[in-house]
Amino acid sequence: MAQKTLQQKLAILSDAAKYDASCASSGTTRRDSRNGGIGSAGGTGICHAYTPDGRCVSLLKILMTNFCIYDCAFCINRVSSNVERARFTPEEVVTLTLEFYRRNMIEGLFLSSGIIKSPDQTMGDIVRIARMLRMDHGFKGYIHLKTIPDAAPELVAEAGLYADRLSVNIELPKDHSLKELAPEKRPETIRASMADMRLSREAAKDRSFTGKRAPKFAPAGQSTQMIVGADKTSDRDILRTSANLYAGYDLKRVYYSAFSPIPDASATLPLIKPPLMREHRLYQADWLMRFYGFDAEEIGGARPDGNLDLEIDPKLAWALANRARFPVTVAHAPREMLLRVPGFGTKTVNRILAARRCGSVRYADLLRMGAIMSKARAFVSLPDWHPGALTDSADLRARFAPAPEQLSLFG
Amino acid sequence: MIRVDLPRFDRFEAWRSAARRLAGAGIAAADVTWADRNCATNDLFGSDPLPPENDRKIAVSRDFIALARSVSFHSDPERWALLHAALMRFQADRRFMSNPADPMVVRLQMMSKSVRRDIHKMHAFVRFHEMPSDGPRRAFAAWFEPEHPILQVATPFFARRFADMDWMIATPEGVARFDGELHFLDPVARPDLPADASHALWQTYFANIFNPARINTQAMRSEMPLKYWKNLPETRLIADMLADAPRRVDAMAAAGASNAPAFAAKVTARLRIPADETPPETMDAARDQAARCTRCDLCHAATRTVWGEGNPKADLMIVGEAPGDQEDLQGRPFVGPAGKLLRDNLDQLGIDQDRIWFTNAVKHFKFAPRGKRRLHQNPDAGEISHCRWWLGLERRFVRPRLTLALGASAAFALTGRRDPLSPRRGKVEVALDGGAVLLTWHPSRILRLADTEASAALEEFRSDLRLGAHQAIGGPGH
């Protein structure tokens, strides 16, 4: 077999990495290259490009290799797949990262890998690449490393010193789904590695007896990913799992990845059209849990089957199912209740609170402050607006749901 | 009419010093024209001189300056007059800036947002080409066309990021050149940038990171507006990627599942050795099996099974209720606040922890999530009964002379009795397996109670610890 060129390897190993949704490069320590090295990070992340699937390209997202001894039914790289295999040398990963970085194409590297030989061997190679970037090249950009469950703790500890973010994927919302579809993975070891990361991050924040601060451990925190639509789990159960993960492991993000057809699919899983709208609604629901004070039961309970309404957003769905709580009097309502008004975002609510201190807030003021009044009008009362019977009208949902027609994907 | 000429660079500073003099002299925005090198100005009228420097104090806030500076990089020719008007208004009413519903504030904020977005997009979409270099530093150059004249405010970012290379970013507004220091120069014609092999690799990456099964061109266009496309090497591929996507998706569906390569079954067989589920004969075997326990539903939310630890030949066994938040994270019993209270008191009473087996009635943490915290919940009778299997194994292997049950859940697990703990505390009962069980408070109860009640409960707890240690190990604790 002829040696593959760098370009061929890049094609194979980026194709193999694209099913991981994470692309964040924000929220790490502020640093730059004015005192040596190359690169900078901190503050908001930057998306350097967008592909036609609407996803941003912020990091060079590649696998070290797509050889893998595991047989996860949903994964293109599983051992039983006939996909073409390749393996980067550590030097190749470092060169690609730095050359793309110098041309301002990326914020840094997101490195993952198939499991080769053993978890320790794989994690060891991942750590080596991160060490070369940080120590040999003074790379100050962003590094996100996948940690391999079951890898030795000292390897993960070293990874945390170089990486801004570490992540391990929970893969599926229910333990029994994971056992069925990814028999080599164990849910308890995945959660245990998240727990270890949380404890390591907390330990790194404590000062020692001498008052010296321990070296930072994965300062941009950890995240995880759940595949949506490969099993029968309801959205309520997915959100419950997310709530448990956020509460337990101080995760920065749970990514939801609509199960997407892969070349050379497994017979176990049907090839389906990826449930993109469901994925979108889950992200909205996740946002409501993290920034709007909703809990999983409230959002997941808006419909009896525990699934999110695909036609309207989950906040609107909750408001329609809880109309007795509306209309909200904008002049007096507490922040928590303003946050529950459909059409009010967190920024709008902050502006409303500031504007209330300067005088009465009217309909036109809300429009200027960014409220989406087409949604909010049924749920608020103002000095110059009262929804009257609108809040309780039977056809209120129909006013928001899209007309029943098939939209083209390529519009 | 007064005409103020603004320079090509450092325009905001020039505006600021002129506006200060104008505002000091009470000259309204309508009586001034601002001539900006970046836009054509109506020059038909002659200009009156700027009013002289004056002592009148001009009020500005930090927020006002920050917003004004940001707006000054907007391309709208009206921005200077608008800022002048805002400055005049601020002299009369300092509070208007803090009202987010004020139309002038809304307009300034919108302009500032547009500028910030353009800066962000410049940081995202500049693409450097490598240039020949005769020095030790590598050299790069780019051409970029921002929406607003943001060269000066957007390029310090590149100086911090690419400090070890020489670079130049040319824009219609002017040129930023970096050689260790950042310089701003007059505009030049669009430079001819040499081909760069890394751009071809970048295109390979862009084409392959794309998932043809989830087309969403609207998201792409809103985040990467068409106006930026012409200077991005990767956007040339988009039309073909889109055109080919339906065929690729159809091909995946048509191909369907395939036969696994021959070696796959061998690899899988090696990894999937079925776990030994025969009743364990040793503590280690029991621990391994318990790690996979799914007898109740707690395992789905908890991190892991928290098995007992300590001396496997101990005469004294201490059984708590269930792991808490810290125990669940660390995978060890009695390492949270209640565990610390227990261990501190054992130490104070001179009871040797190395002679004790510590465990819990239930081996998984039960909780309700609340934002970033997990609130402890008591296990129910069903969960305790399911977990009794493991506690029974631990007791069979350790064979303690006495077991200390902490709290009602441990008491129920060991004795099968659920009646109130208060009358039973401090007394020895017979466990379901025939062993002796001394009942006492759970230390978390002591942590929960108010001061006087807590100290009474603590005394009872300590006296029970002493009694238990005396009966089990006969050691200190009298």
Q: B371 vs A247: CB contact, 8 Å cut-off?
A: yes
Mutate to test the interface with A, among B131, B133, B209 (most CBs of A within 10 A): B209
Mutate to test the interface with A, among B117, B137, B205 (most CBs of A within 10 A): B205
Give the pLDDT confidence score for residue A335 in this predicted structure.
98
* Mean pLDDT computed over B320-325: 98
* Mean pLDDT computed over A332-354: 97
Give the pLDDT confidence score for residue A22 in this predicted structure.
87
Mark which residues 217-256 of B lie under 8 Å from A by CB. 217-220, 223-224, 232, 234, 238, 241-242, 245, 249, 251-253, 255-256
Residue A1: pLDDT band with limits 50, 70, 90? low
Mutate to test the interface with A, among B126, B303, B305 (most CBs of A within 10 A): B303
B160 contact A CB<8A: yes
**Nearest-by-Cβ selection for A34 from B126, B163, B255:** B163
Residue B275: pLDDT band with limits 50, 70, 90? confident
* Mean pLDDT computed over B251-268: 88
Give the pLDDT confidence score for residue B473 in this predicted structure.
86
Q: Are strands A222-228 and A253-258 parallel, antiparallel or unpaired?
A: parallel
Separation of alpha carbons A169 and B195, rounded Å: 40
Distances (CA, A) of A83 to A8, A148, A266, A268: 13, 22, 12, 17
Q: A14 vs B208: CB contact, 8 Å cut-off?
A: yes
Separation of alpha carbons B11 and B9, rounded Å: 5
Residue B1: pLDDT band with limits 50, 70, 90? confident
Average pLDDT score over chain A: 93
Domains and their CATH numbers in chain A: 6-222 (3.20.20), 314-400 (no CATH)
Mark which residues 269-298 of B lie under 8 Å from A by CB. 271-272, 291-292, 294
Separation of alpha carbons B299 and B306, rounded Å: 11
Q: A33 vs B210: CB contact, 8 Å cut-off?
A: no
pLDDT in tens, A221-277: 999 999 999 999 999 999 999 999 999 999 999 999 999 888 888 888 877 889 999
Q: B238 vs A105: CB contact, 8 Å cut-off?
A: no
Give the pLDDT confidence score for residue B43 in this predicted structure.
56
The pLDDT of residue B364 is above 60: yes
CA nearest to A285, candidates A273, A294, A277: A294
Percent share of chain A, pLDDT over 70:
96
Report the chain A residue with the minimal C-alpha distance to residue B371: A247
Residue B477: pLDDT band with limits 50, 70, 90? very low
B182 contact A CB<8A: no
The pLDDT of residue A397 is above 70: yes
Taking the CA of residue A18 and the nearest CA in chain B, the distance in Å comes to 5
Residue A16 main-chain phi, psi, to 5 deg: -70, -20
CATH architecture group of domain B283-473: 3-Layer(aba) Sandwich (3.40)
Helices B79-92 and B103-125 meet at what angle, rounded to 10? 140
Tokens representing residue B269 in the block: 């067989």
CB A234 within 8 A of CB A307: yes
Tell me the domain boundaries of chain B: 2-121, 126-185, 197-255, 283-473
- Report ipTM (2 d.p.): 0.94
Taking the CA of residue A212 and the nearest CA in chain B, the distance in Å comes to 24
Separation of alpha carbons A267 and B148, rounded Å: 54
Residue B410: pLDDT band with limits 50, 70, 90? very high
Burial of A337 (0-12, 13-18, 19+ CB in 10 A): middle
* Mean pLDDT computed over B64-72: 97
DSSP sequence for B302-349: SSS----EE-TT-SEEEEES---HHHHHHT-SS-SHHHHHHHHHHHHT
pLDDT in tens, A288-323: 999 999 999 999 988 999 999 999 999 999 999 999
Phi/psi class of residue B187: alpha, beta or left (left: φ > 0; alpha: ψ in -120 to 50)?
Answer: beta
* Mean pLDDT computed over A201-229: 86
A150 contact B CB<8A: no
Instruction: Give A41's strand partners.
Output: A31
